[in-house]
Chain A
Amino acid sequence: ETGVTQTPRHLVMGMTNKKSLKCEQHLGHNAMYWYKQSAKKPLELMFVYSLEERVENNSVPSRFSPECPNSSHLFLHLHTLQPEDSALYLCASSQGEGGTQYFGPGTRLTVL
C-alpha cells in the first residue's frame, strides 16, 4: 500500500482558502490521475497526465488546478472551493496511459 502516497490524508478548508493536495508514486509509472469520489456517485475522473503532459481534463472547474512537475509527483491546487467540492480525492498511477491503475489512500477534503 505504499506504492502511491497522498498528503494530507484529511483537509478542512474555508471557501476562501488556497491549499494543495500532493500525490507521489514510487512504482516507476509514467501516467498519473486525479479522481473525485463523492457519496453514492461513480468515481469521477478529473485529470490525466501522461509523461508529465495533461492528456485529459474532464470539464473540471478552474478552481481545481493540477500540476505534474515530474512523473513521480502530482499536485492538485485548490482555491475558492465550494461546499459541494467536499469529497475524497484519489490519486492513481499506471504504466502507460490507460494501464492498470494503482491508487493512493486518498485525501478527505471538507469545505466549510
Chain B
Amino acid sequence: AQTVTQSQPEMSVQEAETVTLSCTYDTSENNYYLFWYKQPPSRQMILVIRQEAYKQQNATENRFSVNFQKAAKSFSLKISDSQLGDTAMYFCAFMRGATSGTYKYIFGTGTRLKVLA
C-alpha cells in the first residue's frame, strides 16, 4: 500500500530565508505523480508544484522547487526567499498513474509553516 509521510509537523523560517519541507513516500509503482499543496489560513487548498515520476528533472515554479529522489522515494519542497504569504499548511500528495489500475490519491499529514517577519 502507498503511504506518504511528512515528518515535520511544524516549521518556521525568517522572511527572505530558504526553508525545505520533507516528504517521503512508499510505493511499488513505477508510474506516479507527486504534488505539493498549500493551504493558507483561509483554507483554500492550492496546488504549488507537480512532479511526474518519469521525469528526472526537478520541477520548479518561481520560488518553489523540489528535490525529487526517486530511488530514495523522497520529494522535498524548497521555498526560496520566503514571504509572509507563504505561511500555510503544506501537504505532500501521491497519485498513482492511470495505467496502474484503480484510482489512488494519498495525502500526507501536512507541515505547518510559519514565516516570521
Measuring CB to CB, which residues of chain A are less than 8 angstroms from any residue of chain B? 1, 33, 40-43, 45, 48, 55-56, 88, 90, 92, 96-98, 100-106
Known: A41-B109, A42-B107. A103 touches B98 (CB 8 A): no
Chain A residues positioned under 8 Å from B97 (CB to CB) = 98
User: Interface size (B, Cβ < 8 Å)?
Assistant: 25
Let me know if B109 and A98 touch, CB within 8 A: no
A interface SS class: loop
Q: How far is the CA of A40 from the CA of B91 in the complex (A)?
A: 12
Q: How far is the CA of A1 from the CA of B110 in the complex (A)?
A: 21
Q: How far is the CA of A14 from the CA of B40 in the complex (A)?
A: 29
Total inter-chain residue pairs, C-beta < 8 Å: 47
29 contacts between A and B (CB under 8 A): A1-B44, A40-B109, A42-B4, A42-B110, A43-B91, A43-B107, A48-B103, A55-B103, A56-B103, A88-B43, A92-B45, A98-B33, A98-B96, A98-B97, A98-B98, A98-B103, A98-B104, A98-B105, A100-B35, A100-B50, A101-B47, A101-B105, A102-B47, A103-B44, A103-B45, A103-B46, A105-B42, A106-B43, A106-B44
Give the contacts of B47-100 with A (CB-CB under 8 A): 47, 50, 91, 95-98
Shortest distance from the beta carbon of A70 to any chain B beta carbon, whole Å: 20
Chain B residues positioned under 8 Å from A41 (CB to CB) = 109
Measuring CB to CB, which residues of chain B are less than 8 angstroms from any residue of chain A? 4, 33, 35, 37, 42-47, 50, 91, 95-98, 102-110
